[in-house]
């Protein structure tokens, strides 16, 4: 099935422009669009992906589609579906292989399944598109369908990969071998980093990095009382005076020493807004480096007993600092056995800690039932942090790095391909070379916490970097350029694939 998703226009370009620090960005985007959009007139851009909810692509799509339309490019969004449920099992396997995980082999049956579903979808999609339209197909699930539509109709096509790995492994090779017949036939492809491009595509690729929406719930700035209100409404802080808005329907919960989750202000206030706080917010995924980060923090606290050469304030800061580890509530990851087992491992490690250091670590479960409330909680937690950490073992890009950088919060990231694109060590934040090395992580946290002036300098530069490169305006301009150049590209007669 192919379903069109309707997109509202809750935010206009004028809304962005009404912020003085974004006015010039909107003006630049409008000026670029004045030249580029007319070259797309008469065509419809079809954004195609596999889900309208959940995941980074679905999160980004409404804003992208809405703003392209506002810039004069007729853009529609469709999602694919199928009654053959094994199809998404297969595409999840492709996804994992592109990240280097899983069995690097496919059966003939799997190829048949992929082609059958792609053909069924192409039969439907073909009736929606008109000659000259542009198909922008996201990720492996609809890649086969898009390739078939472009072979049969006079449309131009772009395949956008949101995933990749900066290593050549048997797993990545198996996935790309599987996808090559389809993705190689697109007019153009887009990746997040040059390191992710498989060799058979080189020369026909543009790089577009993900971007954040600076005024959305996840990233907008708050007045102090709004921030305090969100913390109280979400259960992250106790309101000691009346607050205007009622409590959120679903509140954050905190892991207790007995291994169960309860109110986030039990057994004590976390100290957000008062204590120094080091935070990591991510999915419960082994590749996010949770365990070595927790170990590093334990080392930091234990080393404090015999540390020398600290000023009184530095010592006090290290005594008071808490580590906040936050991720999606367990119920929302029940269908993800990996996430459940990683969270379970972390809970066990926490329960096994000495009670003195245990008190200094706060593991939070953030409800996911309301996307808006979840975004506000993530935003508030990032705002309250002295340092945000993203200790990933691998990271495709890492919006959890971009988000705090935009909020002028200093970030400590691992030296992975995605994070390296955003942080230059000592300039826009700090990078640690080995996310498994708890000693180095602990030392870097101590350095950062001990030097507020340098933290502020990194944070300022981090914000500037996001402003210049990773806001939605840059992303839109890049998309306009790619779409226009794809339309203008001389059509190469593609080799006839055997599935036609
Ligand atoms: N996130 C969230 N709630 C959570 C945990 C994460 O909203 O409980 C968001 C986070 O703010 C970020 C996204 O999920 O926007 C994660 O994107 P990222 O690129 O960092 O990593 P991915 O999850 O795609 O590997």
Domain boundaries in the chain?
2-211+472-488, 224-469
Quick one: which H or E segment has residue 183?
helix 170-183
Q: Global pTM?
A: 0.92
For residue 494, the model assigns a pLDDT of 45
Q: How far is the CA of 91 from the centre of ligand 1 (A)?
A: 21
Average pLDDT over residues 142-169: 96
Q: How far is the CA of 123 from the centre of ligand 1 (A)?
A: 35
Show the ligand 1 pocket: residues with CB < 6 angstroms: 56, 218, 281-283, 327-328, 366, 374, 378, 397-400, 403
The pLDDT tens digits for 159-169 are: 999 999 999 99
The pLDDT tens digits for 188-211 are: 999 999 999 999 998 889 999 999
> Matching CATH topology for 2-211+472-488 and 224-469?
yes
Q: How far is the CA of 328 from the centre of ligand 1 (A)?
A: 9
Length of the chain: 500
The whole-angstrom distance between residue 207's C-alpha and the CA centroid of its chain comes to 16
Closest residue by CA, ligand 1 atom 24: 56
For residue 57, the model assigns a pLDDT of 86
- The CATH class given to the 2-211+472-488 domain equals alpha beta
The pLDDT tens digits for 323-349 are: 999 999 988 777 677 789 999 999 999
Of 288-297, 331-340, 491-500, which gets the smallest average pLDDT? 491-500
How many Cβ atoms are within 10 Å of 230's Cβ, its own excluded? 23
Q: How far apart are CA 114 and CA 93, in angstroms?
A: 12
Closest residue by CA, ligand 1 atom 1: 282
Q: Is the predicted pLDDT of residue 495 greater than 50, yes or no?
A: no
The pLDDT tens digits for 49-97 are: 998 877 778 878 999 999 999 999 999 999 999 999 899 999 989 999 9
Average pLDDT over residues 151-176: 96
Average pLDDT over residues 416-423: 96
The pLDDT tens digits for 420-439 are: 999 999 999 999 999 999 99
Q: Is the predicted pLDDT of residue 409 greater than 70, yes or no?
A: yes
For residue 500, the model assigns a pLDDT of 45
Q: Which of 80, 177, 174 is nearest to 119 (CA)?
A: 80
- The CATH class given to the 224-469 domain equals alpha beta
Of 309-318, 326-335, 454-463, which gets the smallest average pLDDT? 326-335
Q: How far is the CA of 110 from the centre of ligand 1 (A)?
A: 31
The strand ranges marked E within 337-393 are 361-366, 387-390
């Amino acid at each position: 099935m192919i379903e069109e998703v309707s997109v509202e226009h809750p935010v206009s370009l004028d809304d962005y422009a009404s912020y003085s620090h974004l006015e010039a960005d909107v003006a630049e985007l409008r000026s670029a669009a004045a030249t580029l959009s007319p070259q797309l007139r008469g065509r419809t851009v079809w954004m195609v992906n596999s889900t309208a909810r959940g995941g980074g692509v679905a999160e980004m799509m409404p804003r992208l589609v809405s703003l392209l339309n506002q810039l004069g490019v007729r853009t529609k969004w469709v999602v694919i579906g199928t009654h053959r449920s094994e199809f998404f099992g297969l595409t999840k396997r492709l996804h994992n292989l592109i990240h280097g995980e899983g069995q690097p082999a496919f059966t003939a049956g799997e190829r048949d399944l992929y082609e059958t579903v792609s053909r069924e979808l192409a039969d439907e999609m073909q009736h929606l598109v008109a000659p000259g339209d542009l198909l922008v197909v996201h990720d492996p699930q609809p890649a086969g369908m898009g390739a078939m539509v472009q072979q049969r109709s006079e449309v131009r096509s772009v395949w956008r990969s949101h995933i990749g790995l900066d290593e050549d492994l048997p797993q990545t090779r198996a996935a790309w071998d599987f996808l090559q017949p389809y993705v190689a036939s697109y007019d153009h492809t887009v990746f997040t980093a040059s390191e992710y491009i498989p060799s058979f595509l080189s020369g026909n690729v543009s790089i577009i990095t993900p971007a954040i929406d600076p005024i959305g719930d996840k990233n907008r700035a708050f007045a102090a009382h709004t921030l305090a209100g969100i913390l109280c409404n979400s259960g992250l802080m106790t309101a000691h005076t009346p607050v205007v808005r009622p409590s959120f329907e679903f509140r954050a919960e905190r892991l207790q020493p007995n291994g169960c989750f309860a109110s986030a202000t039990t057994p004590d206030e976390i100290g957000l807004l008062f204590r120094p706080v080091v935070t990591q917010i991510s999915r419960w995924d082994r590749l996010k480096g949770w365990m070595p980060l927790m170990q590093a923090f334990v080392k930091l606290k234990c080393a404090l007993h015999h540390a020398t050469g600290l000023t009184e304030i530095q010592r006090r800061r290290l005594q008071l600092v808490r580590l906040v580890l936050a991720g999606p509530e367990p119920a929302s990851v029940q269908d993800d056995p990996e996430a459940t087992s990683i969270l379970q491992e972390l809970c066990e490690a926490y329960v096994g800690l000495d009670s003195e250091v245990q008190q200094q670590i706060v593991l939070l479960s953030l409800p996911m039932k309301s996307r808006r409330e979840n975004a506000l909680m993530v935003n508030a937690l990032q705002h309250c942090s002295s340092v945000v950490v993203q200790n990933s073992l691998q990271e495709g890009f890492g919006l959890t790095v971009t988000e705090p950088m935009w909020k002028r919060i200093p970030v400590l990231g691992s030296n992975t391909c995605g994070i390296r694109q955003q942080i230059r060590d000592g300039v826009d934040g700090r990078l640690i070379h080995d996310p498994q090395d708890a000693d180095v992580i602990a030392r870097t946290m101590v350095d950062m916490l001990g030097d507020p002036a340098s933290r502020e300098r990194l944070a300022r530069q981090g914000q500037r970097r996001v402003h210049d490169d990773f806001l939605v305006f840059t992303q839109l301009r890049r998309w306009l350029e790619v779409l226009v150049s794809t339309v203008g590209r001389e059509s190469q007669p593609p080799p006839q694939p055997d599935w036609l």
